[in-house]
């Protein structure tokens, strides 16, 4: 066989890898390598000899699972997990419920100004979390907020949203405001892929628009709803930007208000990279387990329903 004919298949086989090479290099350098290094640090600690001032007085030694047991027994970490759990119970149902409602309203035949409505609902998602947190933060401050000025003129005694019992809802409001648009677009795109013949058949059977939405649209776009739920759950467990940005405006948000805020404090304020690495690994594992467990639960229920049919 001529040499040229042998090299052509080899070049064709190498072409996809050539296009994937930049993405692979970036993935390894900025995602895989830091994850492995954090995993390595989570099993290490720093041993200080004497006053810790001279050369060689600080050495890195093996620490086993001590960092993990200390993190799991830390009351600040457990309290932050509880706050994130309450935060998720508020954010996820409200955000996905609003996104589904908006998607159904935009998909209705009698809806008007669909393009403007889609842009208006999606626009908050395009605003960075830091900027949106600053905007809402100043709207929460009684001294500068126009809403509190209106409340004062009306004689209403409205408590500050930065109080201990309302600050969680203040942070959740920012997440809902910014996340509804993205989830709405995902669900709305799935709705547009439904064949119109299904709607016509349902109307011939006498189904109302509400009935079509409940019995035709929602069951068909259920995979998209599940996907948005998983994304929202992951984002909830990793909430960081909103409370961190609001913290200088309020004394009710501590440096360990969320698990990731505790990781940041341990790593960059206290300089304890080893404990911070262990905590971050715990958060990553918890996120993976919860996401995988939810998907398995949904798949098992769907499989059971198919068997019952």
pLDDT in tens, 157-202: 888 899 999 999 999 999 999 999 999 999 999 999 988 888 888 8
Q: Is residue 300 part of a domain?
A: no
pLDDT reported for residue 243: 95
Residues 89 and 218 sit within 8 Å (Cβ to Cβ): no
Query: CATH number of the domain that 227 lies in?
Result: 1.10.3720.10
Q: What is the pLDDT of residue 299?
A: 79
Q: What percent of the chain has pLDDT over 70?
A: 91
Bridge partner residues of 15 (DSSP):
none
Average pLDDT, whole number, for the chain? 88
Is the Cα torsion angle 252, 256, 261, 267 positive or negative in sign? positive
Q: Which of 194, 213, 295 is nearest to 303 (CA)?
A: 295
Exposure of 83 in the CB half-sphere (CA atoms within 13 A): 29
Query: When comparing pLDDT for 129 and 111, which is higher?
Result: 129
1 confidence band (pLDDT: 50, 70, 90):
very low
Please count the structural domains in the chain: 1
Q: Give yes or no for a contact between 275 and 268, defined as CB atoms under 8 angstroms apart.
A: no
Q: Quote the tokens at residue 255.
A: 């440096």
**Residue 186 placed within a domain:** yes
Rounded CA separation 181/184 (Å) = 5
Residue 159 forms part of a structural domain = yes
The pLDDT value recorded for residue 158 is 86
pLDDT, tens digit, for every residue of 50-98?
655 656 667 778 888 999 999 999 999 999 999 999 999 999 999 999 9
Contact 44, 274 (CB under 8 A): yes
The answer as to whether 294 is a domain residue is no
Domain range enclosing 168: 74-271
* Residue 109 token pair: 């035949």
Q: pLDDT value at position 305?
A: 61
Determine the average pLDDT of the residues in 243-265: 94
The three-state secondary structure class of 44 is strand
**Opening angle at CA 16, ends 11 and 22, nearest 5:** 120
Question: Is residue 54 situated within a structural domain?
Answer: no
Query: pLDDT category, 280, cuts 50, 70, 90?
Result: very high
Q: Is the pLDDT of residue 301 over 60?
A: yes
Separation of alpha carbons 309 and 300, rounded Å? 14
């Amino acid at each position: 066989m001529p040499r040229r004919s042998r090299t052509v298949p080899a070049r064709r086989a190498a072409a996809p890898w050539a296009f994937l090479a930049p993405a692979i290099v970036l993935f390894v350098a900025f995602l895989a390598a830091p994850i492995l290094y954090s995993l390595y640090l989570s099993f290490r600690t720093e041993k200080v000899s004497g006053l810790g001032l001279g050369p060689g007085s600080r050495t890195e030694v093996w620490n086993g699972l001590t960092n993990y047991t200390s993190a799991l027994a830390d009351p600040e970490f457990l309290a932050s997990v509880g706050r994130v759990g309450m935060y998720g119970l508020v954010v996820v149902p409200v955000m996905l419920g609003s996104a589904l409602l908006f998607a159904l309203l935009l998909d209705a035949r009698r809806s008007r100004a669909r393009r403007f409505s889609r842009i208006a609902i999606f626009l908050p998602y395009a605003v960075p979390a830091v900027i949106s947190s600053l905007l809402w933060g100043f709207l929460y401050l009684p001294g500068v907020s126009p809403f509190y000025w209106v409340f004062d003129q009306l004689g209403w005694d409205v408590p500050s949203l930065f109080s201990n019992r309302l600050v969680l809802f203040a942070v959740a409001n920012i997440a809902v405001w910014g996340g509804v648009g993205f989830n709405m677009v995902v669900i709305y795109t799935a709705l547009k892929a439904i064949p119109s013949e299904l709607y016509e058949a349902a109307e011939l059977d006498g189904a109302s628009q509400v009935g079509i939405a409940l019995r035709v649209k929602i069951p068909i776009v259920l995979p998209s709803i599940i996907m948005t739920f998983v994304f929202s759950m992951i984002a909830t467990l990793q909430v960081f930007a909103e409370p961190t940005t609001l913290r200088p405006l309020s004394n009710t948000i501590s440096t360990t208000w969320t698990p990731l805020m505790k990781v940041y404090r341990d790593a960059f304020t206290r300089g304890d990279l080893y404990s911070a690495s262990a905590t971050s690994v715990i958060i990553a594992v918890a996120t993976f387990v919860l996401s995988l467990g939810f998907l398995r639960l949904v798949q098992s229920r769907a499989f059971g329903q198919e068997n019952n049919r």
